[in-house]
A and B are shown apart, each in its own frame.
Chain A
Amino acid sequence: DVKVTQSSRYLVKRTGEKVFLECVQDMDHENMFWYRQDPGLGLRLIYFSYDVKMKEKGDIPEGYSVSREKKERFSLILESASTNQTSMYLCASSPEVLAKNIQYFGAGTRLSVL
């Protein structure tokens, strides 16, 4: 079974802190994604990566950056956390670029910024 592991289930941070959310997948997938999930808005794509050291902006990249130094690991970085970044963050991976691919999700990290 594909496993996507997010390092923390819950995080509480203060405004202005630098926050790292880590995601690791164990199936050698090329593609990895970061979403945020908010009530009534569904999932919105923040950043994605099709390969090591490669990244592309999604629909809501402002206030975030990412790092992919190794194929299995994709990190989401909040350079200076703000209260409007309080949300559920979901990581996903998929094995190929084609439109018919399936994404596999981690359990999510619920981040609260105080």
Chain B
Amino acid sequence: GNSVTQMEGPVTLSEEAFLTINCTYTATGYPSLFWYVQYPGEGLQLLLKATKADDKGSNKGFEATYRKETTSFHLEKGSVQVSDSAVYFCALSPSNTGKLIFGQGTTLQVKP
């Protein structure tokens, strides 16, 4: 079946530190991969996506590369800010279904 596994949180970093949040997936076919972010008190919003192997999604300084050989889609940012504090969800969309399957979410807290 299809599933997504994220690293457990919470992750606590100082401002300007390097961020990695690990995400691995299990899927049949050729899924699309997503990172969504949920800021406090808000719904989820798309952060970035990749639709095929070796694609790199990027937005707001965040990046993730679709690695088919390792079934991974790790989220990275070179220098985090306090405003990046949020919950980050990795998700996949199985081929031609329009549905999303989410990981459990990773809470990031950035301290000044």
Which residues in A have some Cβ–Cβ distance to B below 8 Å?
Answer: 4, 31, 33, 40-45, 48, 50, 58, 90, 92, 94, 96-108
- B11-19, B62-70, B75-83, B95-103 - interface stretch: B95-103
- Scoring B residues 43 to 69 as 1 if CB is less than 8 Å from chain A, else 0, what string do you get? 111100101000000000000000000
Contacts of A58 in B (CB 8 A): 99
Docked CA distance A57–B97 (Å): 13
CB distance from B87 to the nearest CB of A (A): 9
Contacts A99-B31, A99-B93; is A45 near B104 (CB within 8 Å)?
no
Give the total number of A-B pairs whose CB atoms are below 8 A apart.
67
Q: A40-B104, A94-B98 are in contact. List 4 more A-B contacts (CB 8 A).
A: A43-B100, A97-B98, A99-B93, A102-B34
Docked CA distance A103–B38 (Å): 13
CB distance from B46 to the nearest CB of A (A): 5
> By the criterion of a CB under 8 Å from any partner CB, how many residues of chain B are at the interface?
28
Which one of A4, A43, A98 lies within 8 Å of B89 (CB-CB)?
A43
Docked CA distance A109–B41 (Å): 10
Interface centre among B36, B44, B97, B102, by most chain A C-beta atoms within 10 angstroms, is B44
Contacts of B49 in A (CB 8 A): 100, 102
Docked CA distance A43–B42 (Å): 14
Would you call B102 and A101 a contact (CB within 8 A)?
Answer: no
Interface centre among B36, B42, B100, B103, by most chain A C-beta atoms within 10 angstroms, is B100
Would you call A48 and B99 a contact (CB within 8 A)?
Answer: yes
Docked CA distance A105–B105 (Å): 16
Contacts of A101 in B (CB 8 A): 93, 98
Is B22 among interface residues, defined by CB-CB distance under 8 A?
no
Would you call A99 and B43 a contact (CB within 8 A)?
Answer: no
Contacts of B46 in A (CB 8 A): 102-103
Listed by A's residue number, 17 A-B pairs whose Cβ atoms lie within 8 Å are A31-B98, A41-B104, A42-B4, A42-B105, A43-B44, A43-B89, A50-B98, A90-B43, A97-B97, A99-B96, A100-B32, A100-B51, A103-B44, A103-B100, A104-B45, A105-B36, A108-B42
